[in-house]
Amino acid sequence: MKIGIVGGTGDIGEGMAMRLSPVYDVVVGSREKDKADASCDASTNLLKQRGQECSLSGQGNQSCVDEADVVILAIPYRNLVSTLETVTGFEGKIVICPVNPMEKRDYFTFVPPAEGSAALLAKRLLPADVRVCSAFNTIAANKWRALDEELDYSVPVTGDDGAAKREVMNIVNSVSKLQAFDAGPLAASSMVEALTPLLLNIARYNKMRDVGIQFR
């Protein structure tokens, strides 16, 4: 199975690619293919130095989607609409949306679109047969990149298609000690996306860094 990471050279995408590529074929997408190639070379070298096999290749975002069976939208919320309006060919694929619509005022706050969540907005913009799931919302960029650290967190996953959700939960469970939890239908994704600004507030007001969660 091939996983495409749109925005794969970004803050979260690069670490995500390194964590997933020892298990899956990963296509790193970027608006500029050169940037994707450079990121893949650097990541492949880093993983080789650690003695880890990997399968990483760079592409423009469009080829990334074309090649992939599962697409992760590793992009900031502000780029979500423009990306989904310019990239095509999602038909029949599983799309994972880890996007959190939020703003920093005095504190971080959840500011969802009219659809209720970024995942529901993505579903509205994508072709009808795309199976959209939300996942990976609360894992901080620094944690994705810190390959020496175990990711010992719970990951809520939402989606309307049972088979797609199980596939996404398997992908989650393949990374370090991440543990996937079924958090219900895609309509419940707003409560998952609201977790991230909450965790950023917890970090800020308690002088912590990169706070995650565990359900127990």
Contacting residues toward a second copy, per CB under 8 A: 106-110, 152-153, 156, 181-185, 187-188, 190-192, 194-195, 197-199, 201-202, 204-206, 208, 211-216
Main-chain phi, psi angles of 73, to 5 degrees: -90, 80
Of residues 78 and 216, the one with the C-beta less far from a second copy: 216
Torsions phi, psi for 10 (to 5 deg): -80, -175
- Residue 136 or 153: the one with the smaller Cβ distance to a second copy is 153
Which CB atom, from 77 or from 110, has the smaller least distance to a second copy?
A: 110
**Concatenated DSSP letters for 1-14?**
-EEEEETTTSHHHH
Q: How far is the CB of 188 from a second copy (least distance, A)?
A: 5
Least separation in angstroms between residue 70's CB and a second copy is 21
Find the helix or strand (DSSP H, E) in which 26 lies: strand 25-30
In whole angstroms, the minimum distance from the beta carbon of 155 to a second copy comes to: 11
Nearer to a second copy, 79 or 179 (CB): 179
To a second copy, the closest distance from the beta carbon of 96 in angstroms equals 18
Q: Considering the complex, what minimum distance in angstroms separates the CB of residue 91 from a second copy?
A: 27
Contacts 24+ apart (CB under 8 A), 101-106: 101/77, 101/193, 102/77, 102/193, 102/196, 102/197, 102/200
Q: φ and ψ at 5, to 5 degrees?
A: -110, 100
